[in-house]
Amino acid sequence: MANHRKPDNVLRLNGTYQKHRHGDPDSKPDWLEGLPRIPTCLKGEARKEWKRVLKIVPEGVLTITDKTILTQYCALWAELESDPGNFETGQHTQLRLIQQELGFTPISRGKIGGAPKKHDKAGFQSQPK
């Protein structure tokens, strides 16, 4: 089975990004930038989970194109929270797979990069304040 293509930000973090091989970053579509807005269909616990996720996920991991999968995750999470006894095996599997896709598990988190860290003029990584 072939490996999935790594996102450009992961390649940059690993130091393996090559412009001639991975394309000019200026030619990439800008529709990948920005965070998704909370859908009106999410209510209660699902809405709270959406807001919590957007606060804790590193910058550059989620974009507006992730709205559908994040909506599915939040809806499933709300179902699990409201009635764990009736949460079926298939729903558990769906939730776990979505968590892996979004990088919410320890192993999958290592495979997902965020926005590249900012460096000062001398090329050193900025220190948190």
pLDDT digits (tens, 9 = 90+) for 37-55: 899 999 999 999 999 998 8
In this prediction, residue 90 carries a pLDDT of 96
Locate the domains of the chain by residue range. Answer: 38-112
Q: What is the pTM of this model?
A: 0.65
- Give the CA radius of gyration of the chain: 17
Q: In angstroms, how far is the first alpha carbon of the chain from the final one? A: 44
CB-CB contact of 115 with 8 (8 Å): no
C-alpha triplet 81, 86, 87: angle, nearest 5°: 60
Which residues have C-beta within 8 Å of that of residue 107, sequence separation ≥ 6? Answer: 100
* DSSP annotation of 123: S
Residues above pLDDT 90, as percent of the chain: 37
> For position 36, what pLDDT does the model report?
84
The pLDDT, as a whole number, for residue 57 is: 82
pLDDT-derived band at 32, boundaries 50, 70, 90: low
Per residue in 72-122, pLDDT (tens digit) is 999 999 999 999 999 999 999 999 999 998 888 888 877 765 555 555 555
